[in-house]
Amino acid sequence: MSIKFIATSKLPTPWGVFAMHGFEDTETGKEHVALTFGDLKTDEPMLGRIHSECLTGDALFSLRCDCGFQLQTAMQNIAELGQGFILYLKQEGRGIGLLNKIRAYELQDQGANTVEANERLGFAADMRKYDMIEPMLAQIGVNKVKLMTNNPRKVQAMQAVGIEVTERVPLQVGKNRYNEAYLKTKSTELGHMMNEYHFVDDDK
């Protein structure tokens, strides 16, 4: 396996002090992080999330997506519970990279939806891979998960590497007038499981 554990440090956050575990993919050079909170040494299912890097949403507060809202809510939920994890994976723009993501945004500004934009650039709608999660979870000692996600592909990815997903916990936050069409596309074309909350124009 090409995933190598590098080091662990403390990460103080507004929700408490997480542990940050760094990993390197020695084949691609990509760097991934696992955040953990509390004692994970238990046979009980662990609350967690797989989160792909989103510079625009996570760090620049973009309202075009729900990524930053989901990350912050996941961290808050874990801290309030007292234990859990987040796998933060370096695969920006559903795997197409930051600059191609900006190109896709340009096409979206011209009327394409998020899937159409990726495809016009020659990419699949979702290029992400999840083979790195098995060694990362093994390192932090997790094999049963209550997964915070709306994306069934993430549940399938965990099951494919032998991780038992005992529950899918919906993570529906961050709807606004800038990302409503994006959320609808994720539901109708990418199969994300969302209820009617995301499709009510209550803030326009």
Q: In Å, how far are 46, 132, 157, 161 from 144, measured between CA atoms?
A: 6, 16, 13, 12
| 123-132 b/e (C-beta count within 10 Å ≥ 16 → b) | bebbebebeb
User: Which residue matches tokens 């309202």?
Assistant: 63
Other CB atoms within 10 A of residue 155 CB: 18
User: Which residue matches tokens 């326009």?
Assistant: 204
Strands laid side by side in the 46-52 sheet: 3-13, 16-25, 31-37, 84-89, 46-52, 144-148, 164-169
Active-site residue numbers?
Answer: 126, 128
From the list 70, 58, 86, the residue with the least C-alpha distance to 142 is 86
Distance CA 140, CA 41 (A): 9
